[in-house]
Amino acid sequence: MTSSPLGTDLPYLSATDAQSLFASGELSPVELMRAVIERTEEVEPVINAFTERLFDEALAQARHAEDRYLGKGGLAPRPLEGIPVAAKEKHAIAGRSLTEGSLVHRDNIATENHPVIDRVLAAGGIVHARTATPEFSIATYTHSRLWGVTRNPWNPGFTPGGSSGGSGAALAAGTALLATASDIGGSTRVPAAFTGTVGFKAPYGRNPGLGPLTADHYRGDGPMARTVDDCVTLQNVLAGPDPRDHVSLRPKLTLPTRYQNAEGLRLALCVRLGAYDVHPEVEANLRATAQALADAGAHVEEIELPWTREDLLTAIAGHFSTIFGAVVTEVADRHRGQLSSYAVTFAETMAHARTRVTYLDSLRAEQRLQRQLSEAMAPFDSLLCPTTAVPGWHAGDDLADERLTVNGEERGAALWSAMTVPFNVNNRCPVLNVPSGMSSWGVPTGVQIVGHTYDDPTVFRVGMALEQARPWAFTPEHRPML
């Protein structure tokens, strides 16, 4: 294959463009992997997105990918052939560490691949690195005693979000073309918003996982990317049933790769989701995205949801304390001294919540929230709302105080800074985060595109229409200056 003229832009190629260049012979998978590795060496000392680098194996796999594109051995290129994919550390790789960011599990070795890993590898993707999370993936920021602080490439004083913060940071920093993520309360969408990337919370069961928490209907695994096209590509690899996960849906839904424009779409715009205090810059960027879609031919109507903080808190407290919180509490009871301070606080909060709210209480609140959303969305194809109530928060901040303080100023209630968990409560809704703009804090903001239950194609149609109406690209003039 010939040498690419793209030079330093190689790490910021979209996966779609990279594969076109592979197929035409203008770029080698080996050349791309070397460029990504070089970029990693430049920026990782600042960003700290990776927990493990698999570069030797990745280069060997890139050579095999090159052979496929050259037609050697009679093997055709696969859907992700030769693409560098950063994998969230909690997505187990057999024979490698599986710590989930905890000193308690620092000696754990995975005995099998997570389904996400199996599907990426089977599609020809190259897992060249693994990405950082907060301990047990329980937070909307990314730092731990095991791995230190992961920072936002756009502004290293800020977090890339969490829990898939390492994945979002890697994409924004140009050290991966695609990344895997998971989401139980916003763990894909918050880092996507803060890093100016695209993240998809698939509806429950769409993508297979591993137990026991795959049985938790708030959570699921999914894709992150720098473009909507690339997110579609990875999602189509991840979707479909797996015998290890009985809730994984069949038949597999394959998303279209081409969509109609915004003409005729009926979109609801909701700024507050009934209960959130939204920063003026987040609201302004949201309204700009809605206007761009309206100018492109969509009908946009502003609505308000009747959601209350009481119902949201009841749903969250009863659910998390019974399932996810109980898992962390079990660890804290035996290994409290090895946990991060926020993990201990989480365990204690969940233990207290179990004395105040029952799982039945949470189900009743969930049902009210789900019905209210369903009724409000009935006249529309999709709902637009902010991903977070504020543009970001500082790297290393545990958000332990009741009030969120950023740049020396109070910015509202810390608990209500992410606007993602209502759509884990409404767990059958697909939700796509797409960049909505930049804030004066030097970090991006995001918009959530919420679909009706299991209507994944519509959220991607809206996402692509928005990407065309308000282009967001990691160009030399518009990317983190590290």
Which residues are marked as active site?
88, 163, 187
Please enumerate in sequence order all residues whose Cβ is within 8 A of that of 259, keeping only pairs 6 or more positions apart, or say none.
Answer: 457, 460, 461, 464, 465
Q: Identify whether the C-beta of residue 113 lies closer than 8 Å to the C-beta of residue 93.
A: yes
Token representation of residue 448: 């959530």
Locate the DSSP E strands across 57-151: 84-88, 126-131, 143-144, 148-149
Beta bridge partners of 302: 269
Residues 6+ apart with CB under 8 A from 29: 22, 62, 63, 65, 66, 69, 81, 82, 83, 126
Q: Which residue has the tokens 């990776």?
A: 50
Quick check: helix, strand or coil at residue 223?
Answer: strand
- The distance of Cα 134 from the centroid of its chain, to the nearest Å, equals 14
Determine how many CB atoms are found less than 10 A away from the CB of residue 366. 22
Question: Contact 383/377 with Cβ under 8 angstroms?
Answer: yes
Q: Rounded to an integer, what distance in angstroms lies between the CA atom of residue 66 and that of residue 1?
A: 8
Rounded to whole angstroms, the Cα distance separating 426 from 424 reads 5
Task: Using the CB atoms, write b or e for 348-365: b if 16+ within 10 Å.
Answer: ebbbebbeebeeeebeeb
State how far the Cα of 169 lies from the Cα of 150, in Å rounded to an integer. Answer: 8
* Backbone φ, ψ for residue 308 (5° rounding): -120, 155
Query: Coil, helix or strand for 282?
Result: helix
CB atoms within 10 A of CB 310: 10
Buried b (16+ CB within 10 A) or exposed e, 233-262: bbbbbbbbbbeebebbbeeebebeeebeeb
Residues 119, 466, 273: CA angle, nearest 5 degrees: 90
For residues 230 and 177, is the Cβ–Cβ distance under 8 A?
yes
**What type of residue sits at position 322?**
T
d(CA 205, CA 66): 34
Q: Extract the tokens encoding 208.
A: 């297979």
